[in-house]
């Protein structure tokens, strides 16, 4: 563990924070996939030049692989744990904003797979914590039921057409669920499976420019 991680682990998550390079730039909350860590998505910070980067490591271990919430099987989530961990991550973002001195109203999540799923859970369960989210290879983390309102939240879903883990129907269900809650959702289909492609980054870069 390096000095930065050791210093920041007491906010509840081992994480990397890189301050913004341009005044008024947003903070990208980078959320890795199963088995990743806080370093995995750091290169994606470059998709929003000048932005601050906050990149935590998931606190749940599955056979030694970090994740952001527990699952019972592939694609079968422990919904109570999803709720608990979404709350913990939302509290972490708020605490990190005070600690690292970034604007808590300008946080945009960028998550891959399990990281995308926890980002959606935070969007739906803790409205206001995220201004928006880029979701790569995302699934429905839970159905929060009617009454959730996240109007004004911008969401980009970039999923693969031939993903063996996420079906097109699942992607459409997620988009509908977020739209029902009032989010402004854009879905982009990649000619891909579960792995990210250069076209994912291109679409995210353009979308981020329109959100900042």
Catalytic residues: 113, 163, 194
Tell me the closest approach of the beta carbon of residue 65 to ligand MLT, in angstroms. 9
User: Is 61 an interacting residue with respect to ligand MLT (CB under 6 A)?
Assistant: no
- Maximal CA-CA distance, the chain: 45
Choice from 11, 139, 183, 203 touching ligand MLT (CB under 6 A) = 139
Selected range binding ligand MLT among 39-47, 83-91, 109-117, 150-158, rule: CB under 6 A: 109-117
Q: Which of 49, 165, 179, 210 lies at the binding interface for ligand MLT (CB under 6 A)? A: 165
From candidates 113, 153, 171, 190, binder to ligand MLT by CB under 6 A: 113
Residue 46, number of CB atoms within 10 A of its CB:
12
Edge-to-edge strand list for the sheet holding 52-56: 15-18, 52-56, 27-31, 107-112, 132-136, 154-160, 184-190
3-state per-residue secondary structure call for 20-33: CCCCCCCEEEEECC
Coil, strand, or helix at residue 184? strand
Residues 110 and 30 sit within 8 Å (Cβ to Cβ): yes
- Looking from the CA of 175 toward its CB, the CA atoms found within 13 Å total 18
Can you state the angle between helices 114-125 and 79-100, rounded to 10 degrees?
A: 80
> Shortest approach of ligand MLT to residue 98 CB, angstroms?
29
* Strand pairing class (15-18; 52-56): antiparallel
Q: How far is the CB of 171 from ligand MLT (least distance, A)?
A: 12
Q: Which of 187, 209, 191, 207 is nearest to 199 (CA)?
A: 191
Work out which of 114, 153, 158, 190 binds ligand MLT, going by CB under 6 A: 114
**Beta carbon of residue 115, minimum distance to ligand MLT (angstroms, whole number):** 8
Q: Which is nearer to ligand MLT, 71 or 99 (CB)?
A: 71
Shortest CB 104 distance to ligand MLT, Å? 25
Among the listed ranges 12-20, 110-118, 154-162, 180-188, the one in contact with ligand MLT (CB under 6 A) is 110-118
Which residue among 34, 120, 159, 171 contacts ligand MLT (CB under 6 A)? 34
| 71 touching ligand MLT, by CB under 6 A | yes
Binding site for ligand MLT (CB under 6 A): 33-34, 71, 113-114, 117, 139, 165
């Amino acid at each position: 563990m390096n000095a930065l991680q050791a210093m920041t682990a007491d906010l509840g998550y081992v994480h990397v924070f890189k301050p913004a390079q341009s005044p008024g730039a947003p903070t990208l909350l980078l959320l890795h996939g199963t088995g990743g860590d806080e370093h995995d998505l750091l290169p994606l910070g470059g998709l929003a030049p000048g932005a601050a980067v906050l990149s935590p490591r998931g606190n749940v271990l599955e056979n030694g692989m970090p994740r952001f919430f527990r699952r019972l099987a592939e694609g079968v989530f422990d919904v109570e744990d999803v709720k608990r961990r979404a709350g913990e991550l939302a509290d972490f973002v708020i605490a990190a904003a005070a600690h690292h001195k970034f604007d808590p109203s300008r946080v945009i999540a960028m998550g891959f797979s399990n990281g995308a799923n926890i980002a959606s859970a935070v969007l739906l369960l803790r409205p206001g914590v995220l201004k928006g989210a880029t979701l790569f290879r995302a699934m429905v983390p839970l159905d929060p039921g009617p009454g959730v309102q996240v109007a004004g939240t911008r969401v980009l879903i970039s999923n693969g057409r031939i993903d063996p883990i996420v079906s097109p129907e699942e992607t459409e269900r997620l988009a509908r669920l977020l739209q029902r809650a009032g989010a402004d959702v854009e879905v982009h289909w990649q000619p891909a499976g579960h792995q990210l492609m250069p076209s994912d980054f291109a679409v995210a870069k353009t979308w981020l420019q329109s959100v900042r």
